[in-house]
Amino acid sequence: MSDRLHTLSGYLYEYQKSVTQPEEFWARIADSFYWRKRWSKTLKWNFKDPDVKWFVNGKLNITENIFERNMFTMADRPAIIWEPNDPNEASRTLTYKELFHEVCRFANALKAKGIEKGDRVIIYMPMVPEAAVAMLACARIGAIHSVVFAGFSASALADRIKDCGAKAVLTSDGNFRGSKKIAVKGLVDEALEKSPVDTVIVYQRTHQEITMKEGRDFWWHDAVADQADTNVAEEMDSEDMLFILYTSGSTGKPKGVVHTTGGYMVYTKYSFENVFQYSPGDVYWCTADIGWITGHSYIVYGPLLCGATTLMFEGVPTYPDAGRFWAVVEKHKVNQFYTAPTAIRALQAYGTEPIQGYDLSSLKVLGSVGEPINEEAWHWYHTHIGKDKCPIVDTWWQTETGGIMVSPLAGITPTKPAYATLPLPGIQLCIVDADGNELTGNGVEGNLCVKFPWPSMIRTTYGDHDRCKQTYFSTYPNMYFTGDGVKRDHDGYYRILGRVDDVINVSGHRMGTAEVENAINEHPKVIESAVVGYPHEVKGQGIYAYVICDLTNRTEENLIQEIKDSVSKIIGPIAKPDKIQLVPGLPKTRSGKIMRRILRKVAENSLDNMGDTSTLLDPEVVKQIIEGRK
């Protein structure tokens, strides 16, 4: 059943209803799903503890809502189309029936290995259909999945295994990425030395040589070989955990954002069909990796709950050349295309030549996610990819929000370049000043908060509820604080201005400055460091590191390289600083706080307005830093 809106007045009407009668509104949407037992109360909440429960006492399984609920009508419809890294390798299509059988077989395999409801399972896999099968099989048996982006290092993987106390790791022998072949199993082995698990299941992708540990490691194809293709889904409570996804914050350690079953299901389906205006038979493609929230909500759960055909792409935008995205759009006649501004800017740099010759006429909707989209990239996307006929949905949301919060509804909401436009039904935004006063009316700018719960919101941070409370619910009482700055213009449209905390956004990937500093500080020659973001043409933001170090027995150049390598090893290549400046000292206040504001100015090269430096312990340091800037 579809809950799709079709007109602007329809949206405005629904929005109004969703605010005045939120429980009735969401109960109506939730009623189109299959519940083993209907909920007794739609919502219970307070933002103080915080304690939020949707569809209280409802019983369900999310995979029953993907498969059994639709099986009579959709069995032969393509669920996943897979496009491999190498365009010469054949693509694969799995119908809903085929996907269902794969999920059941793998669910049975997990059970046979002793994985039970409530156990945590790490998924560290390439972009192959089996990664989606792995997630859905966990959901089928009630195990909690935690997908770790396959570009993270062994040590980042080990930290996540340990933090969630995982019982199993699902992985591959290796991954193809552009022209590279990455030895994934070796990284897993290294991680498991630090954080052991009972079971490892290895999907064979690259056929490279790996070591398998007797009794612990099993091949995927062996594990499913004798399994039945039917499986009775585990009955889950609406508030049972569906997954944990680690994300970076302003403090050192990544935190495990927890999403639960009922609310996440309702919201991802509802937001998917409305934002993208998906019609049965369309081919939808989101280029994200399943290691990020975008991959969870809008490659796997949202589209599949809608009975959509979702395309999964294993490769990168520039392999074998910068026309690859457009070749894939043409080949599979993609109707909705959803990517990140950093990819658009990277392709923009190649000019329009790589687009020539590809038939992009199937495209109906273009999407953007992950970071603010600058006007230039917006226009390029609109003109050269959308041929001025496809609406762009600039979707603002976060790992913590579970689903899209602010976005045009494609073809319904009039768009404006660089604006995420209006909140989705059920989303009650609030802009506050630094003291937490709500800024009402239009033409205001401040910090973005949400003042009422929505079904797919974060419930806790795994193993540390207080951290959830401190990070999101303590800055402003009775509000969820997003960490983003925002402007509401004279039309009431929202424009996201970027993070106001110590989180930077590099190519659409979230990174805590403290997290990068900790990694830099692990180098034995480093005494202290400070990391800030600076504007970067393609990545949105680049990483600029100021480092105090001991240069004995090293040249400056060597040490900078060693630091970069070591950050790659500790977190992953995505966290490698773009610029490292060795400095004699850092600008600190008398109380010992690093004044990042000054470091940001230097990194941005805007030196004329350094602001107040009177509280600095040693103003001389700033001069030296400016002289040595990169």
Q: In the complex with ligand 6R9, which residue's Cβ is closer, 288 or 322? A: 288
CB of 603 to ligand 6R9, least distance (A): 18
Interaction with ligand 6R9 in 205-234: which residues (CB under 6 A)?
none
Q: How far is the CB of 575 from ligand 6R9 (least distance, A)?
A: 14
CA distance 128 to 180: 16
CB of 298 to ligand 6R9, least distance (A): 9
Amino acid found at 361: S
Secondary structure of 36-101 in the HEC alphabet? CECCCEEEEEECCCCEEEEEECCEECHHHHHCHHHHHHHCCCEEEEEECCCCCCCCEEEEHHHHHH
User: What is the DSSP-derived secondary structure letter of residue 372?
Assistant: P
Instruction: Work out whether 415 is an interface residue with ligand 6R9 (CB under 6 A).
Output: no
Indicate if the alpha-carbon torsion angle 290, 308, 137, 33 is positive or negative.
positive
User: Cβ of residue 498: shortest distance to ligand 6R9, in angstroms?
Assistant: 6
Which letter does DSSP use for residue 470 in this model? I
Map residues 322-361 to x or -, x wherever contact with ligand 6R9 holds by CB under 6 A: ----------------------------------------
Stretch that binds ligand 6R9, among 81-89, 368-376, 538-546, 575-583 (CB under 6 A): 368-376
| Spatial CA neighbour of 626 closest among 592, 593, 585, 589 | 585
- Asked whether 120 and 110 are in contact (CB, 8 A), the reply is no
Q: Of 217, 238, 229, 142, which is closest to residue 172 (Cα–Cα)?
A: 217
Q: Decide if residue 372 touches ligand 6R9 (CB under 6 A).
A: yes
Q: Which two tokens stand for residue 288?
A: 């994200």
Can you count the helices (H) and strands (E) in the chain?
20, 30
Q: Which of 153, 335, 342, 395 contacts ligand 6R9 by CB under 6 A? A: 395
Q: Which of 554, 546, 447 is nearest to 499 (CA)?
A: 447
Residue 295 touches ligand 6R9, criterion: CB under 6 A: no
199 lines the binding site for ligand 6R9 (CB under 6 A): no
Least distance to ligand 6R9 from the beta carbon of 542, Å?
A: 16
Of 453, 361, 355, give the one whose Cα is nearest residue 402. 453
Which of 220/481 has CB closer to ligand 6R9?
Answer: 481
CB 317, min distance to ligand 6R9, A: 17
**Cβ-based nearer residue to ligand 6R9, 205 or 510:** 510
Q: Is 370 in the site for ligand 6R9 (CB under 6 A)?
A: yes
According to the binding rule CB under 6 A, does residue 149 interact with ligand 6R9? no
How far apart are alpha carbons 532 and 104 in whole angstroms?
47
Q: Are 290 and 135 in contact (CB under 8 A)?
A: yes
Give the end-to-end CA distance of the chain in Å, rounded to a whole number: 57
Does residue 156 bind ligand 6R9 (CB under 6 A)?
no
* Nearer residue to ligand 6R9 within complex by CB, 322 or 575: 575
- Cα–Cα dist 563/253, whole Å: 19
What are the C-alpha distances in Å from 422 to residues 95, 396, 414, 432, 556? 35, 10, 10, 17, 50
Q: Identify the residue among 342, 399, 447, 541 touching ligand 6R9 (CB under 6 A).
A: 399
CB 370 within 8 A of CB 508: yes
- Please choose, out of 37-45, 130-138, 362-370, 576-584, the segment that lies near ligand 6R9 by the rule CB under 6 A: 362-370
Q: C-beta of 391: minimal distance to ligand 6R9 in Å?
A: 14
Q: Which of 146, 238, 294, 413 binds ligand 6R9 (CB under 6 A)?
A: 294
Contact between 484 and ligand 6R9 (CB under 6 A)?
yes
CA-to-CA distance for 327 and 507, rounded, in angstroms? 23
Regarding 278 and contact with ligand 6R9 (CB under 6 A), the answer is no
Contact 500, 597 (CB under 8 A): no
| Spatial separation of the C-alpha atoms in residues 182 and 191, rounded to whole Å | 15
Q: Does 289 bind ligand 6R9 (CB under 6 A)?
A: no
Q: Judged by CB under 6 A, which of 126, 174, 483, 542 binds ligand 6R9?
A: 483
| Tokens coding 18 | 């969703």
- Binding residue (CB under 6 A) for ligand 6R9 from 111, 205, 499, 539: 499
- Nearer Cβ to ligand 6R9, position 369 or 563? 369
Q: How far is the CB of 406 from ligand 6R9 (least distance, A)?
A: 8
- List of residues contacting ligand 6R9 (CB under 6 A): 247, 292-294, 368-372, 394-399, 420, 482-484, 496, 498-499, 505, 510
